[in-house]
Every structure is written in structure tokens, then in C-alpha cells.
Structure 1
């Protein structure tokens, strides 16, 4: 595997896609391997695949915590691991979802709504002195939005972690040519 790193929340990282058997305890074994070896997981998302026998883990690994070859070899030794793929950041699409509750007294609510419009975010809920918003996008876009909300007072924030898929091998425009 050719190690291709990118940055995730300020850290140099590599994104691995690991297909595993959809069985109880598999996620715990994968996370346990990382913990035992001292490999830092920056982000971890799990999703079913179109085949219910398997799940797809997207793991963002801190490059400084472990050589990628070692991580892949250790993962490959786990019985329930079916396939490991290292995503090239240039050849993949990455997204994240953030939900945040922000202080929004009536006199500043318009400023927050301006940010929501600029970023094409969504208002999920409005209270007397708070507003809940969500944004899906690139990691840098999410970071920028969160940074601009911070001065207003973020009460609570939740981020999903990175999800990623390889780009299609041929774009529609290439197929039509």
C-alpha cells in the first residue's frame, strides 16, 4: 500500500476503509488492536454495506502514531477483516456532518442566521436563547463554520467524523465524450 496522508483537524492522517464481517465484537477487536498498539484513531465511522454480512469502517489514523504498513499488517491479521483499502485523498471524496447548539439571544440571532445562509447550513431547532444548526461538507468547511460560531458561544457540538468514498473511475462527462 502506498501511504497517502492528508490533514484531519490539524493532524497528519491516513484514511483506511476496512470491510469486516458484520458480527458482534468485531468493532471492539479493531478498536482494541489500535489501543494495544498505541495507534491513534482520529475518527471512526461504521456503516452497513449493500451485503448485510459486512460492515464498512472508515478509520482516520494519525500518521505520527504508527507506520501505515504496520497498521495494515496488524489489521489484516484479525479474523473478521475482509478487505483493507487506503484512500488517496486526491482520488476520494470526504465529508463530515456537524450539529451545534449556539447561544443566540434575539439581538444577535440575525448574525448567526447570516452565517447559516453563507455556509448553506440548516437550522434544526430554535429556542428562546439558542439555535441548533447542522452542516454537511468538507472537513475544512466544517472547521471554518465552527470557528465562526465559536465567538457566539457554542453550547454543544457533535461531529460525525470523516466519511469517504473513492471517486468514480469515470465521470459522466468522460463517458459521454
Structure 2
């Protein structure tokens, strides 16, 4: 029976030592808590179900009734467009050459050069642009809202 008592005493001593170690670790952890951030490792769940992302819509501040059509502004110019731009913005050519003509609207090379940066855009360019946008309204989808783009010219009775 002495052996059993010795074993029981050894187990009690081991438990006391482990409790002391745990207390010391707890005291050390509390002491270091303000100085050191403890890191925890959480194992990821294996059977985690992946949810689909919800569809988001633009905020009302970004929406506009005039922005019905999407256009990629990063497209590059074609060869014909590059030739035309080279001619229009060439400083060595005659400035009075008519570049665009449609019914009673004409645009000269000098008017087109106002499209360069840091210059006032000529009213003729805005008038032609308004005319083209109004023409393109004929081809919009029936669900899209209708719009009318006004030119810089005043309305005269003979025009309507």
C-alpha cells in the first residue's frame, strides 16, 4: 500500500505543479496583455457554404435619365478617323476649308480647331452636336425616355 500512497502523492504533486505553472502563465499573460497583443488562430470550417454576391445598383446620385446608352470612351481611333484628325488639327492647311456639311449647317476647319484643349468651343460645333444627338433619338429603344437637345441658335418662326 505504500506504493499506492507514493503514486497518489506523486499525482497530487504533479497536479499542484501544473496548477502553479498555469497560475504563473495566467499572471504572465495578464502582465503582458497591455504590452503585447495576443494572437488567436481559428481553424476555418471545412463545410463552409459560399454565398453568391448580391447584385448592386448605382447610387441615385450617379443615375441620370440622360445616361441611357453605354459607350466605351477608351476606344482607339480608326485609320480614317486618324487621317481626318491629322488634317483638321494641322496648322499648315487652309482654315476656311469646309470639313462638315449637312443641310444648312457647315463647319470649317477653323471651327473644328476650337476643339483643342484650353480654347473656347465654337457655337457651331455645339449646334452640329445637338443636331446629331436629336437625329440619333430616332433610333433609341421605345422603353428609353425621349429627350430634345437644343442648339445655341434661337427659335425662329420659319424653322418650325
TM-score, normalised via structure 2 length: 0.19
**Greater RCO, 1 or 2 (C-alpha within 8 Å, sep 6+):** 1
Q: Which has the larger radius of gyration?
A: 2
Higher strand share: 1
TM-score by length of 1: 0.18
